[in-house]
Amino acid sequence: MGDYHIYNKSCYGLDEVRKNSVHALITDPPYGISYQNNHWDKNLPEKQIWSDALDRLRPGAFGAVFSAVRLMHRMMVDLEDSGFIIKDVLFWSYLNGMPKSRDIALDIDKELGVESHNAGTYKYVQGYRKEGAAHYKTEATKHKKVPASKEGKFFVGSGLGLKPAYEPVILVQKPTEKKLSVAQNIIKYGTGALNIEQTRIPYEKGEGKVGHNPHPKGRVAANIVRTTAFEDGYDKFFLVPKVRQHAETYNNHPTLKPVDLMHHLTKLLTWEGQTILDPFMGSGSTGVSAYLLRRKFVGYELDKEYFKIAKRRMEEAVI
Ligand SMILES: C[S@@+](CC[C@H](N)C(=O)[O-])C[C@H]1O[C@@H](n2cnc3c(N)ncnc32)[C@H](O)[C@@H]1O
């Protein structure tokens, strides 16, 4: 059994956590965008949780807070107003985001009472093929429509949004103790720096080492974390594919984060034996990562069912 404490209750107050005791905050809170109509995602977290978390973190401790492109500015202001220093924004980038757009030219036809033209059929495929299955989750033949009105034709191909290809992760830091240098702060609290050493990207075989003083372990990790390689020789960024809820039979959390991604943040923000706090742990990916990488963990989850999943994952240390 690893060293972790998880609570099935609201994180507000963080009553179980001592002041200045936590080495890092790693959390994926509600984004405030009502993702898939989830009731818990209607609003951004109240500022109070960030000031509670700041109080529990050791001086100089770092935090990684997931956010959504549309509302990250508000989350950043809340974090800053609560006393955090904004250090960076990491981009977790992937290729399998779904654009939430539709053909507005067809809406224009409808608005004008004009029947859009049929332009053949296409195969609609949704979901993925589970191992060994003959078919995708949903396959259907649909009619392709093209605008018929003059105005619709003029605006053909217009839409409302781009394909989402990244999620921002706000990197924050609690200020170091007043009058202490970074080194003095680290000696006193064990916090104040990122763990660059553990997150270096190794050089490709045969690659000439870069920089004036190349490090044998490779490059410093970038602030972009990708799921697929750039086509420029080899990938100099950290790659983490998205996971599907169904990858695990019992984990149906709609915003499940890959443990590999959490591993990257765990390694970047902490050293072995240190404590990570996740006030919004959902199905527990942060906790599983902490456990597997020998960090201590404190997590909160309000929902009974998600908590059960997190508990089971922690007990089984399931990726
Ligand atoms: C974005 S999800 C986290 C998903 C998680 N990263 C995972 O991999 O499963 C945010 C979670 O915060 C929980 N939540 C919302 N408000 C909360 C509160 N006040 N206290 C504790 N948990 C809360 C929601 O139930 C939801 O499961």
Ligand 1 pocket by Cβ (under 6 Å): 10-12, 28-30, 40, 253, 255-257, 280, 282-283, 285, 300-303, 306
Q: Which is nearest to 253 in space by CA: 224, 226, 286?
A: 286
Q: Residue 225 pLDDT > 90, yes or no?
A: no
Q: Residue 279 pLDDT > 90, yes or no?
A: yes
Each as own residue / partner, the long-range contacts of residues 37-46 (CB below 8 Å, 24 or more positions apart, any chain) are 38/254, 38/255, 40/302, 40/303, 41/255, 44/71, 44/74, 44/75, 44/78, 45/78, 45/279, 45/280, 46/12
Lowest mean pLDDT among 128-132, 160-164, 200-204, 287-291: 128-132
The string of pLDDT tens digits covering residues 237-263 is 566 767 766 555 678 888 889 999 999
State how far the Cα of 162 lies from the Cα of 238, in Å rounded to an integer: 24
249: its two tokens: 């039979």
Average pLDDT of the segment spanning 86-100: 84
Per-residue confidence (pLDDT) for residue 84, from 0 to 100: 98
Average pLDDT of the segment spanning 91-104: 79
Q: Which is nearest to 172 in space by CA: 64, 266, 45, 50?
A: 64
Type and span of the H or E element at 310: helix 304-316
Lowest mean pLDDT among 10-24, 67-81, 95-109, 141-155: 95-109
State how far the Cα of 145 lies from the Cα of 122, in Å rounded to an integer: 10
Average pLDDT, the chain: 88
CA torsion 229-265-64-20 (nearest 10°) is -170
Domains of the chain and CATH, by start: 4-96+165-316 (3.40.50.150), 104-154 (no CATH)
The string of pLDDT tens digits covering residues 119-144 is 998 887 766 555 556 665 667 888 89
Average pLDDT of the segment spanning 36-58: 95
Banded model confidence at residue 80, pLDDT cuts 50, 70, 90: very high
Q: Residue 175 pLDDT > 90, yes or no?
A: yes
Per-residue confidence (pLDDT) for residue 244, from 0 to 100: 65
What percentage of the chain reaches a pLDDT higher than 70?
85
265: its two tokens: 């943040």
Go through the chain and tell me how many residues it has: 319
Instruction: Tell which one of 242, 301, 318 to mutate to probe ligand 1, the residue whose CB is within 8 A of the most ligand atoms.
Output: 301
User: How far, in Å, from the CA of 140 to the mean position of ligand 1?
Assistant: 34
Return the residue whose CA atom lies nearest to atom 25 of ligand 1.
Answer: 303
The string of pLDDT tens digits covering residues 184-196 is 999 999 999 999 9
Q: Which is nearest to 319 in space by CA: 272, 260, 273?
A: 260
Banded model confidence at residue 3, pLDDT cuts 50, 70, 90: very high
Q: For residue 31, give the ligand 1 atom closest to its CA.
A: 1
Per-residue confidence (pLDDT) for residue 301, from 0 to 100: 98
Per-residue confidence (pLDDT) for residue 219, from 0 to 100: 85
Banded model confidence at residue 163, pLDDT cuts 50, 70, 90: confident
Average pLDDT of the segment spanning 254-280: 95
Q: Residue 4 pLDDT > 60, yes or no?
A: yes
What percentage of the chain reaches a pLDDT higher than 90?
64
Output the pTM of the full model: 0.86
Per-residue confidence (pLDDT) for residue 236, from 0 to 100: 55
Q: For residue 10, give the ligand 1 atom closest to its CA.
A: 20
262: its two tokens: 């959490």
Per-residue confidence (pLDDT) for residue 6, from 0 to 100: 98
Per-residue confidence (pLDDT) for residue 36, from 0 to 100: 81
Name the 3-class secondary structure at 209: coil
